[in-house]
Amino acid sequence: MSAAGVALMLGGAGILLAATPAQAAEITFKTECIPPAISNLPPIQGETTVAITAPATAKVGDTVDISWKTVKAASKNPDVLDLNKDVVQPSGNVTVGGAQSGTVAVQGPRQNPPIPKNSQMVLSEMKGKLKIEKAGDITLTPDKYTINVNQIMTTETKCSPKETVKAGATIKVEGGGSTTGGTTTGGATTTGGATTTGGATTTGGATTTGGATTGGSGGQTDFPGKAVDVTYDCGAVVPGGIKTPVTISAKKNGGAYALTVKTAKGAMASPMALPAGALKPSMNIKLGGADSGTVKVTGPANAEPIPDKAPVSLSDMSGTYTPGKTGKVTLTPDQLTIDVTMSAGAPPINVPCKATTSGVSLELDTAAQPGGSGTSGTSGSAAAAAGGLAETGASDDGGIKALALVAGTVVLLGGAVFTFTPWRRLRGTR
């Protein structure tokens, strides 16, 4: 959840007005929901009914709780797939008006009953906090909201009002203690109702700018990266492609860096039972800034068999980057490759996926090392880190067969449905 306007998750800062009488009012407004692009479905037109709850009164300097209860979502679960328990998570924005302006970011837990086909979507109650900065009447109005579904893979349906929405609650604010300098949480600074994000903060020698992590000097050895959403185009193998957050982290070892790359857990579901050792991932990390080329990272195959329809997670991938140039070097997730082996001794089926959208996950302040590469092509060391992970990919076997499979799994994304998984013909291979 991101901070916006005057809304910040303050972690207990300020005064919570639990004893102040709260108010709730239901507001209904016309809504348009946009399914994910990969679903190829048109926008959904409907109505959303929301109850906003907030204290009736407050004082300047107080921090108050705001809640959003979705009485009725704009769209139903389509008549295609039943949604499992606890796979839906909502988030949204409440517009702050009147004496104070801004936005409260609210979010609910991933909590829902099973939602059958062609039935109403059920969204958990969303909550946020508002720092009261000005006296007068402050209005709270429901605005955009997002439905995040984590079943087979994680995706979002975004909904927004299509008419002027009435305020759902009003807080009468008396004069009180003053606030100065704003509030800072996770790099977002709020001052007088305006929010500035992407500011730089420094912790233990690592500087975060706009969410990207920069590895500085001063004896620091661990450099955590930020998660960036990456969209992969796998051609006809995976209709619609794959979208997953990817995080690159580094640990300095002498002049080199041991890299660890993580993708989303349970990003897809297995359409059939898969044996141990069936899936083995690898990825190219693109270098930018002072250095260039790519570093290959690899992960081990699944150690345990994967039951039919069970969540599938790619293993964490590791590799070593040896800088070839001195300066600031950016690391960006690039091509993903999944090798599929259905039986011992069988040649792996190579599934290459090109990153069509990506972003910088990590920035390192490097010093050139002997043997380091700063040229195009494969840069740095592609050797796996501790654990002896072997490289995978087309370079390991020039005779790897091309994959031409048919999608066989249906995925529901809030109000959208799309097909995924290129596995059907693997049954013949096995």
**Residue 50: inside a domain, yes or no?**
yes
Do 182 and 214 share a structural domain?
Answer: no
Q: How many CA atoms lie within 13 A of 136 on its CB side?
A: 10
Distance (Å, whole) CA 408 – CA 184: 47
Hey, CA dihedral for 202, 205, 207, 208, is it positive or negative? negative
**Residue 17: inside a domain, yes or no?**
no
**Residue 13: inside a domain, yes or no?**
no
Q: Given this model, what pLDDT does residue 3 score?
A: 33
Q: Could you tell me the residue range of the domain that residue 115 belongs to?
A: 22-196
Q: Given this model, what pLDDT does residue 337 score?
A: 92
**Residue 52: inside a domain, yes or no?**
yes
Last residue of a domain, one of 176, 196, 216: 196
- Per-10-residue mean pLDDT of the chain, 430 residues long, equals 31 33 79 77 90 94 94 83 90 94 94 91 95 94 92 82 94 66 36 37 36 52 92 75 89 92 76 83 94 94 85 89 93 92 81 92 92 51 32 30 30 31 40
The number of residues making up the chain comes to 430
**Residue 2: inside a domain, yes or no?**
no
Q: Given this model, what pLDDT does residue 237 score?
A: 64
Do 214 and 186 share a structural domain?
Answer: no
| DSSP reduced 3-state for 134 | coil
**Residue 8: inside a domain, yes or no?**
no
Do 217 and 146 share a structural domain?
Answer: no
Last residue of a domain, one of 150, 166, 196: 196
Do 378 and 243 share a structural domain?
Answer: yes
Residue 181 CB-density burial (10 A; 0-12 exposed, 13-18 middle, 19+ buried): exposed
CATH number of the domain within which 53 lies: 2.60.40
Last residue of a domain, one of 196, 225, 240: 196
Do 328 and 425 share a structural domain?
Answer: yes
Q: How many domains does the chain have?
A: 2
Do 160 and 77 share a structural domain?
Answer: yes
Q: Given this model, what pLDDT does residue 37 score?
A: 66
Distance (Å, whole) CA 362 – CA 209: 11
Do 162 and 241 share a structural domain?
Answer: no
Do 239 and 172 share a structural domain?
Answer: no
Do 187 and 146 share a structural domain?
Answer: yes
Hey, CA dihedral for 56, 59, 60, 65, is it positive or negative? negative
Do 177 and 288 share a structural domain?
Answer: no
DSSP-assigned beta bridge partners for residue 195: 190
Do 407 and 363 share a structural domain?
Answer: yes
Do 189 and 221 share a structural domain?
Answer: no
Q: Given this model, what pLDDT does residue 174 score?
A: 87
Two tokens, residue 429: 């291979």
Q: Given this model, what pLDDT does residue 430 score?
A: 39
HEC readout, the chain: CCCECCECCCCCCCCECCCCCEEEEEEEEEEEEECCHHHCCCCEEEEEEEEEEEECEEECCCEEEEEEEEEECCCECCCCCCECCCCEEEEEEEEEEECCCEEEEEECCCCCCCECCCCECCCCCEEEEEECCCCEEEEEEEEEEEEEEEECEEEEEEEEECCCCCCCEEEEEECCCCCCCCEEECCEEEECCEEECCCEEEECCEEEECCEEEECCCCCCEECCCEEEEEEECHHHCCCCEEEEEEEEEEEECCEEEEEEECCCCCEECCCCECCCCEEEEEEEEEEECCCEEEEEECCCCCCCECCCCEECCCCEEEEECECCCEEEEEEEEEEEEEECCCCCCCCEEEEEEEEECCCCEEEEECCCCCCECCCCECCECCCCCCCCCCCCHHHCCCCCCCCCCCCEEEEECCEEEEECCCCCHHHHC
Q: Given this model, what pLDDT does residue 269 score?
A: 64
Q: Is the pTM of this model over 0.75?
A: no
Distance (Å, whole) CA 290 – CA 363: 11
Among candidate residues 226, 224, 189, the one with its CA nearest the CA of residue 203: 224
**Residue 396: inside a domain, yes or no?**
yes
**Residue 415: inside a domain, yes or no?**
yes
Q: Given this model, what pLDDT does residue 118 score?
A: 84
Among candidate residues 153, 202, 185, the one with its CA nearest the CA of residue 7: 185
